[in-house]
Amino acid sequence: MAAPLDLDILAGLRAIGIHEPSPEEPLHVRLVSALYRTRGESWGNALIAIKFEFNWACNQAGEVYANAKTDYERLIDIETTKIRATQEKVSRAEAEQIVRATEEAYKLKLAFLVAEKREQSMRKFLDTLGEALELHRTDRADKRKTDSFHAEAGV
């Protein structure tokens, strides 16, 4: 994606809300590839190819989210256990609160919340792509019906 993108490819990206594609963003690279692969085909075919790429990215985002959440929870468990092992009068809740107040816990929690929102956003976007595909199908069916009517009526 180092070379400037063709106008129809840019238009396809803009149609799905990507106004400034980045060659550094793997999803953008995959979407550009999908649009080039489906060039000359219907917009419905392009949407399906885009949906496949978003599904791939959504799966990746889910994996990042799961790993980030697990890292955070593991830190809390390990550090809470350490505190309780060395300090007799600290309850589990108190020990967890001490751990949650650390900079490391803050960073890990932030990472997992950001990953969670990205994954949720991608799922919503997949839903939106599905709606766009359905609209495209409806528009094509309406056009066929109109064309058929005009052909039969001799208009």
| Residue 134 scores a pLDDT above 80 | yes
On the CB side of 27, CA atoms within 13 Å amount to 18
pLDDT at 46: 93
Quick: pLDDT tens for 54-88. Answer: 999 999 999 999 999 999 999 999 999 999 999 98
Least confident of 65-79, 84-98, 116-130, 136-150: 136-150
For position 155, what pLDDT does the model report? 61
How high does pLDDT run on average in the chain?
91
137 close to 44: Cβ distance less than 8 angstroms: yes
20 found inside a domain: yes
Residue 143 lies inside a defined structural domain of this protein: no
In a domain, 39, yes or no: yes
Over residues 100-123, the mean pLDDT reads 96
Tell me if 144 is assigned to some domain.
no
Is 2 inside any structural domain?
A: no
Give a yes or no: residue 41 inside a domain.
yes
Start-end of H helices in 38-154? 43-86, 92-100, 103-153
pLDDT band at residue 143, thresholds of 50, 70 and 90? Answer: confident
Angle, in degrees to the nearest 10, between helices 7-15 and 26-37: 120
The proportion of the chain whose per-residue pLDDT surpasses 90, expressed as a percent, equals 74
Q: What is the pLDDT of residue 140?
A: 76
Sorted by sequence, the CB contacts under 8 Å of residue 115 that are 6+ apart come out as: 61, 64, 65, 67, 68, 69
Using the structure block, give the residue that is written with the tokens 């994954």.
Answer: 119
- Domain extent for 60: 7-137
In a domain, 127, yes or no: yes
Domain count, the chain: 1
* Interval 26-52 mean pLDDT: 94
How much is the pLDDT for 154? 66
Q: Is 147 part of a structural domain of the chain?
A: no
Please report, as a single letter, which amino acid is at residue 3: A
Better-predicted residue by pLDDT, 41 or 136: 41
CB 117 within 8 A of CB 87: no
